[in-house]
Copies of this chain bind each other. A is one copy, B any other.
Amino acid sequence: MPEPARPGSEELVLAFLAEAGDEFVSGEAISDKLGLSRAAVWKHVNALRSQGYRIEAVPARGYRLLEIPDRLGELEVRPLLNTHDVGQALHWYEEVGSTNDVAKELADEGALHGEVVIAERQSAGRGRRGRSWSSPPRKNLYLSVVLRPDLPPARAPEVTLLAAVAVCQAVRRAGVASAAIKWPNDVLASGRKLAGVLTEMAAEVERVQWLVVGIGVNVNAAADDFPDELRELATSLLIERGDPVPRALFAAALLTALEEWLDRHAAEGFAPVRAAWREMSDTLGREVRVRVGSADLVGLAEDVDETGALLVRTASGLERVVAGDVEMLRGR
């Protein structure tokens, strides 16, 4: 596992200021503590300011952190992470086509397990099955994680269900207790889409080379931020809670939850993930229509099996669905 990158001086200065909260910290205290010259401290403060940190400087009192930019870079997210791998290397972009495409390139070039790509906006965000993913800038969370699990490709669906569990858990902890998972990996609230997962992989037939798990969460998007045709279909943490969520905090909580579940999956297999998925499911116990290829399958969504497939009780028997789009026909 990769050694967490050592924080640079700039990051240490920021951490020092952040720790002081509303208090002033003298330049002398910082330079003593971090072994930096006063001039170096001043240089780092200015570098932070140029990145959007508002830092007050008052002669004889020192520095005070007034505002952290609403950005999801390494400086903002990493200090909040409680992980050993996931997010310890974090590639931040103002804009990309799609974070999955960037992460796939990095993975092909040898990116390590847990490296994360985050972008403030996506010009060509993608959802499952080649669909587009609405990506208004600086409102939401668009990230992709490179994973190198020791799994055959047939077990990759376990990781995509795992990601949905981590996202749903993070969303619930952020105050949307009603969030639930629609098979296989959408997170819904009030019946609308709040988050989605797109997992891609490169593999030999018997082993995964890498998985890229792309996660899109509507965080602070207001209804107006969505395109017209999505307004009735999408929701966000902001819309559900009524107030905004600090994005960096949410991103860190999500990555931390993801790693906890990955560790658990590596140690205990799919069973605990499956149990959590069932508990969070919005699909099980409901009448569904599943589009499988060009055919429709209608029945009761009974369970997910030990491979992550959806089991649907139809008039003609129990059908096992490994891929398809689910539509809810009736509530519980």
* Residues in A lying within 8 Å of B, measured CB to CB: 128-129, 150, 152-154, 156-157, 159-160, 184, 198-207, 293, 307, 322-324
Contacts and interface: CB of A to CB of B under 8 A. Distances in A.
A160 B205 CA distance: 7
A128, A159, A201 — which one has the most chain B CB atoms within 10 A of its CB?
A201
A271 B245 CA distance: 53
B204 A128 contact: yes
A206 B202 CA distance: 13
Nearest to A324: B206
Contacts of A204: 128-129, 198-201
B203 A153 contact: yes
10 contacts: A128-B204, A152-B322, A153-B156, A154-B157, A154-B307, A198-B204, A199-B204, A200-B204, A201-B203, A202-B202
B322 A154 contact: yes
Given A152-B322, A154-B154, A200 B200 contact: no
Contacts of A160: 205
Contacts of A154: 153-154, 157, 307, 322
B157 A206 contact: yes
Q: Is the interface of A mostly helix, strand, loop or mixed?
A: mixed
The number of times this chain is found in the oligomer is: 2
Contacts of A293: 150
Nearest to A100: B204
A207 to B, nearest CB: 6
Given A199-B204, A206-B322, 10 more contacts: A152-B322, A152-B323, A153-B156, A154-B154, A156-B203, A184-B206, A201-B202, A201-B203, A201-B205, A202-B202
A152 to B, nearest CB: 5
Nearest to A150: B293
A157 B205 contact: yes
Contacts of A307: 154
A171 to B, nearest CB: 21
A110 B128 CA distance: 19
A282 to B, nearest CB: 19
B203 A200 contact: yes
Shortest Cβ-Cβ A-B pairs, 7 listed: A206-B323, A154-B154, A153-B153, A199-B205, A160-B205, A152-B322, A156-B205
Contacts of A202: 200-202
Nearest to A130: B204
A159 B203 CA distance: 14
A152, A154, A201 — which one has the most chain B CB atoms within 10 A of its CB?
A154
A323 B150 CA distance: 11
Contacts of A128: 204, 206
Contacts of A156: 153, 203, 205
